[in-house]
Amino acid sequence: MKHLLLYLLLLLGLTACLDDDDLPAVAETDLTLDFRAEYGGEGLAIQREAYGYPTGDTLKLLLFQYYVSDLELLPAGGAAPVRLAEIDLLRWNSASDSATLTRSYRVPAGEYVGLRFGLGVKPELNAQDPSTFAADYVLNEAEFWGPTTRYVFAKIEANADLEGDGRFDTGLSYHMGSDALYTTVEFARDLRIGPGQTEQLTVVADVLRALSGNGETFAIDNPDQQAVHGGNQAVAQDIWNRLAAQFTLEVR
C-alpha cells in the first residue's frame, strides 16, 4: 500500500511536469492563398473586356462572387483539418479589381494532402438571421434573398450584346443559393507548407466554364434565362453544377 501511494505521487509529479511547454512545439507559418477569377483562361476584367460567348454573343461581366465555407487544409496522416476560414466572400465587382484576391492565414507548418471548402454558405450559417452578425461582417453584406431567408451563395452579373450592334443592353443576373446547392470542393494535392513557403496556392474559378462546358452552353439569349433569383433556382441549376465542378488549384 505504501509503495502504491509512493508510485501514485511519483506519477502525479511526472504528469504535472508534462505541461504544454514541454510538448514539441508545432511551428506556425504564414500561408497566402490566392483566389483568381478568369474568363476563358484569362484574368477576369470586370467591365473592361468584351468577352466572346459560345453562342456568338458578347458580354461584359459586372459582378462575379461566391461564398466559401470551412476553407480547410487537410494534413497528411489524417489529423484534424486545419481551418483557414469558417466563411469568406470572394467578390470581383470593379474594373479596378485585380483578377487575383489574396488571403493570408497562420497555419501549422507541415505536410498536407489537400485543400477543401464548401461552395456557398454552410447550412448552419445559412440558417442564421443576418442581423445576428455585425453590420460589417461578411455574412451581412446584403447578400441574402430576404430579411429571414437564405443567402445568395454565388452571383454572376453581366450586360450582353445579343444583337451584335455594340450595345451591351441585355442584363444577365444569375443569383444562386440554397442548402440543396451547397457543394464541397476538394483538391487532393500534396502540399508542403513551412517557414519560407515557396509553393504559391491559387484557387482558380473560370466564369466561362461555369456558363459553358462539357458540350453544354447556357442560353443567355433566352429571355426566360436572363434573371435567376430566389425561387427559380432550377433555371440556373446547370450553371451551379458547372461552377462547383470547374474550380482548380494551381500550385507553383
Partner 1 sequence: MGRRIILLGLSVLLLAAGCGDEPGVGMEVPVEGTISGPSTPTPYALEVPAYLPAPIVDPENPVSVEGVELGRHIFYDAEILSTDGTMSCASCHRQELAFTDGLDRSLGVRRLAGSRSAMSLVNLAFNPNGFNWDGSAPKLWEQAIHPVEDMLELDNDWEEVLRKLRADADYPARFRAAFGIDNTAEISRELTIKALAQFERTIISADSKYDRVVYHNTDFFTEQEQLGADSLFFVENLPPGALHPGCGHCHNAPSFGDNKFHNNGLDDVASLDDFIDKGLGGVNGNRFDNGKFRTPTLRNIALTAPYMHDGRFETLEEVLDHYASGGHDVENEDPNITGFTLTEREKEALLAFLHTLTDESLLTDARFAAPH
Contacts with partner 1 by CB under 8 A: the residue count is 46
Which residue in the block uniquely carries the three cell numbers 453544354?
216
Based on the shown chain and the rule CB under 8 A, indicate whether residue 228 belongs to the binding site for partner 1. yes
Q: What is the CA radius of gyration of the chain?
A: 23
Which residue in the block uniquely carries the three cell numbers 514541454?
22
| Footprint (CB under 8 A) of partner 1, residues 24-83 | 46-48, 60, 62
Nearest Cα to Cα of residue 153 among 249, 244, 40, 43 = 244
- Applying CB under 8 A, which part among 79-87, 92-100, 115-123, 237-245 lies near partner 1? 92-100
CA angle 84, 128, 231 (to 5 degrees): 105
Q: Which residues pair with residue 187 across a beta bridge?
A: 115
46 vs 249 by CB, closer to partner 1: 46
When binding is defined by CB under 8 A, the residue of 94, 102, 184, 200 that contacts partner 1 is 94
CB under 8 Å to 50, separation ≥6 — which residues?
A: 58, 59, 60, 161, 168
Closest distance of CB 206 from partner 1, Å: 20
CB under 8 Å to 105, separation ≥6 — which residues?
A: 30, 31, 32, 33, 84, 85
227 vs 245 by CB, closer to partner 1: 227
118 vs 126 by CB, closer to partner 1: 126
Nearest Cα to Cα of residue 208 among 42, 49, 7 = 42
Based on the shown chain and the rule CB under 8 A, indicate whether residue 225 belongs to the binding site for partner 1. yes
When binding is defined by CB under 8 A, the residue of 55, 98, 128, 173 that contacts partner 1 is 173
When binding is defined by CB under 8 A, the residue of 157, 186, 221, 238 that contacts partner 1 is 157
When binding is defined by CB under 8 A, the residue of 56, 78, 196, 223 that contacts partner 1 is 223
Q: By CB under 8 A, name the binding residues for partner 1.
A: 46-48, 60, 62, 94-96, 129-137, 140-142, 144-147, 149, 157-159, 167-169, 171-173, 175, 223-232, 235
